[in-house]
A = this chain, B = another copy of it.
Amino acid sequence: MAILQPIHNIAEILAQKNVKTAILCPGSRSAALTISLVRHPEIQTYSISDERSAAFIGLGMAQQTGDTVALICTSGTAAYNFAPAVAEAYFQEIPLLVMTADRPAEWIHQYDGQTIYQREIYGKHVKKAFELPSDYTHSDSVWQIERVVNEAVNLSQIFPKGPVHINVPIREPFYPTEMEKIEFDRNVRIIKHAHVEKKLSNEFWCNFKEIWESIDNKLIIVGHQHSSKRLNIVLEKFVEELGVPVVADIISNVNSIEPVLSDVFLSSKNENLKNNLKPDLLITIGKSVISKNLKIFIRNNKPKFHFHIQENGDLIDPFQTLTDKVEVSPEYFFEQLFEDLDIQNFKNGDEEIDFEFLQQWCNTNERAKKKLNSFIENLEYSEFKVIKSIIDKLPENSIFHLANSMVVRYANLIGIEKGKNIEIFANRGTSGIDGSLSSAIGVALKTNKIVTCLIGDMSFFYDRNGFWNTYLPDNLRVIVINNHGGNIFRIIDGPNKQPEVKEYFETIQSSSAKYICEEANVFYHQVNDEESLLSTLNFLHQKSERPILIEVEIDGNKNAEVFASYKKLFAEFV
């Protein structure tokens, strides 16, 4: 048996446990992992050099498939370059198996190259951190390796999904001898993890339905979450059959109902308008909410009851109004609730459903939408208008990756048309600008759909090494909104009043994406006005042999003006 056989067997365990994609970052210390993963017939491997980008590409793949993706790196700071994506995966609940090769413990901080303190390096940003033994001679060590790898993969998939870290100290020699065949032990230990369904007691349902029936104004708010067909179906019923308004951000992937532009009209200073929208029973699901106005509205108008439905065990209360945490899946919760209410209605005879509260929300929303559309229509060439055009032209059944900072905020104000079946991804776990391009590439590598990444210039150049690999897929479309700086700082209140805004907040930069596109062999088009934008959008989503990037050149000062007039307009919305 090869000395490194227990390491080679990791590939077999991963394959059998459905971890079939591995991102390999080059290095010697990790060679045994690399070679066995590459040689395993069931595992698809990618070699990507910049670990920061590599980890975000892996995250994008896992976002798209829901399956655990393995990330492998050599020892040293390589492991730290994974960290931004690991943190994002933790808060966004994306399953990653991070395996960092390491020197054996006796050589840590002994002046040997590429050695840092890797044990538990990701702190609280992984569900669990393991370390394998560096000696495999004792059979207990083999047992430990097999058990740990099983546990790590299981954990990454148990809800809430997330990243798990295994530090892998490896002694030399790292490489099999020339032409040595690596054997995979098909009988390697596999420990399965039984899926547990969490249900609520009859007692809970009795109490809850009592509240449900005693309260008129019920509201559902959906935060950031992956697309769920089951949830979309049942939420539609709550709106249409039970008259409960559902407010969802663009990143909530609720596409069965009209988008509610809550951030737009809740910015109004008109208290009458808002008085009619106050819920008495609030049910929230999902993770973070983009709309600051929505958060402030709820905080200022505390509902009598606020149930948060989420399996995640942390107590998270961004509205500061939570009364009940319910740790079951939202799908089960709403399906069960709907079914129970349905049976009850059948038994008791159809009760009159009151649609008034829903109508209040819908009417306000309709009026806001009209006003916003006419505002945008009359705009000159500026970001608000550009992003509206981009969203309008998105193809059906495609994927839309929204980068952070202004881009996702604009898109959230505009909303996405119902029924086009567009799935939204956004790295809102930590809302960093560091990996959006790479994540979108990862998503595109795992689907045949068109993936459109809408991204600002700062995020794009920050993560430009996303283009530094040989796998760029032809279904990738990138639209860079280039206002030559962090335009958000000119738009939000505060920095725009400071003399330092240009150099130290916006950080004016003159780069163009054309150079990196030329280097990476990506089709490049520049857009400078409305007309060229529209003609470019017309062919953007057609089939292409190479990925396409559109750089939308735009004046940041203009955007700031437009945004100020938008805010003024809706502050007075009645």
Q: Which residues of A contact B (CB under 8 A)?
A: 24, 26, 28, 31, 34-35, 38-39, 45, 47, 49-52, 76-78, 80-81, 83-84, 87-88, 91, 109-117, 120-121, 123-125, 173-179, 223, 287-289, 314, 316-318, 404, 428, 430-432, 434, 458, 461-462, 464-465, 468-470, 486, 489, 492-495, 497-498, 500, 503-509, 511-512, 515-516, 518-520
Contact = CB atoms under 8 A, between A and B. Distances in A.
Contacts of A109: 91, 314, 316
B26 A492 contact: no
A118 B532 CA distance: 44
Contacts of A287: 111
A511 B505 contact: no
17 contacts: A24-B504, A34-B500, A34-B504, A49-B509, A50-B462, A51-B434, A77-B434, A78-B434, A109-B316, A111-B289, A117-B125, A464-B465, A470-B508, A515-B516, A515-B518, A515-B519, A516-B519
Contact of A31 (B24, B114, B465, B494): B494
A503 B512 CA distance: 30
Contacts of A492: 28
Among A83, A117, A431, A504, the most chain B Cβ lie within 10 Å of the Cβ of: A504
Contact of A434 (B35, B81, B123): B81
Contact of A114 (B430, B464, B518, B520): B430
A432 B288 contact: no
Contact of A500 (B38, B432, B462, B486): B38
A316 B503 CA distance: 45
Main secondary structure of the interface of A (DSSP, over half): loop
A285 to B, nearest CB: 12
Contacts of A494: 28, 31, 173-175
A294 B353 CA distance: 85
| Identical chains in the assembly | 2
A508 B287 CA distance: 40
Contacts of A87: 76-77, 80, 116
Given A87-B80, A116-B87, A505-B26, A111 B288 contact: yes
Contact of A430 (B51, B76, B458, B486): B76
A115 B115 CA distance: 28
A516 B112 CA distance: 33
Contact of A504 (B45, B77, B81, B288): B45
A289 B112 CA distance: 8
A26 B173 contact: no
Given A91-B109, A123-B121, A464 B464 contact: yes
Contacts of A289: 111
Given A87-B116, A468-B509, A492-B28, A175 B504 contact: no
Contacts of A45: 504
Nearest to A75: B430
- 7 closest cross-chain pairs (CB), A and B: A175-B494, A113-B431, A111-B288, A77-B432, A77-B84, A178-B497, A515-B515
Contacts of A432: 76-78, 114
A489 B468 CA distance: 19
A261 B154 CA distance: 52
Contacts of A506: 26
Given A81-B434, A519-B512, A26 B507 contact: yes
Given A47-B507, A175-B493, 20 more contacts: A26-B489, A26-B507, A28-B495, A47-B503, A47-B504, A49-B486, A49-B507, A52-B81, A77-B430, A81-B84, A109-B316, A110-B316, A113-B404, A114-B430, A114-B431, A116-B125, A178-B497, A465-B465, A515-B515, A516-B516
B123 A117 contact: yes
Contacts of A111: 223, 287-289, 316, 318
Nearest to A462: B50
Contacts of A174: 494
Contacts of A91: 109, 115-116
A81 B82 CA distance: 9
Contacts of A520: 511
Nearest to A493: B175
B505 A31 contact: yes
A263 to B, nearest CB: 14
A435 B416 CA distance: 41
A35 B498 contact: yes
Contacts of A464: 464-465
